[in-house]
Amino acid sequence: LAKTTQPISMDSYEGQEVNITCSHNNIATNDYITWYQQFPSQGPRFIIQGYKTKVTNEVASLFIPADRKSSTLSLPRVSLSDTAVYYCLVADGRNTPLVFGKGTRLSVIA
Amino acid sequence: DGGITQSPKYLFRKEGQNVTLSCEQNLNHDAMYWYRQDPGQGLRLIYYSQIVNDFQKGDIAEGYSVSREKKESFPLTVTSAQKNPTAFYLCASSSRDRYYNEQFFGPGTRLTVL
């Protein structure tokens, strides 16, 4: 399984764009990059998934460079409600289940 | 509404007792998963099942057991062999159409051993 490394915590002010970078140096050809968000005492929620280049949905954007050894989750104009833990996961999703690390604890400040 | 449900929300158990946590989904998903989360930690996989009547151990299966007799249901039993069962337990499901990577989680069961 490809191991991921991401910052333990980040702080941001409301209205700013937040970028969380995840390193996955040994990502395999068949692996996808997936991000989840978790609020306290709740299960994680799928945010976005990508394979290469850029993916955008109504919640976030995911930037993946050509070598795919890292990825960046971008949250535009964060609000207090975006305070949560964000997990970066890498897996092919067929034969191996997802592995959740400790994630990045994002704190949004008014 | 389609979704995944877990019951109960809170559960208290005396040492030495087995307890079963319920997980049901009506999303017609093929795969189901059980995770354990301790305070300030990430999720750790206990068991998962990608098809009825078949399941695989995750990273921390010791002291737990599961069954998958129906596609919609994946109950988890925490046995007395689990040395430190107090934790937040999360059940999830996913579809092979999304390469199993988009998992839908239930609200969780918080188990406390007294």
Query: B59: phi > 0 → left, psi -120 to 50 → alpha, else beta; which?
Result: alpha
From chain B, pick out residues whose CB is under 8 angstroms from the CB of A98: 45, 100-101, 103
Which residues in chain B are closer than 8 Å to A42, comparing Cβ atoms? 105, 107-108
Give residues 58 to 87 of A whose Cβ lies within 8 Å of B.
Answer: 87
CA atoms of B33 and B75, how far apart (whole Å): 10
- Tens place of pLDDT for every residue, chain A, 110 residues? 568 999 999 999 999 999 999 999 999 998 999 999 999 999 999 999 999 989 999 999 999 999 999 999 999 999 999 999 999 999 887 767 788 888 999 999 99
Task: Specify the pLDDT at position B2.
Answer: 67
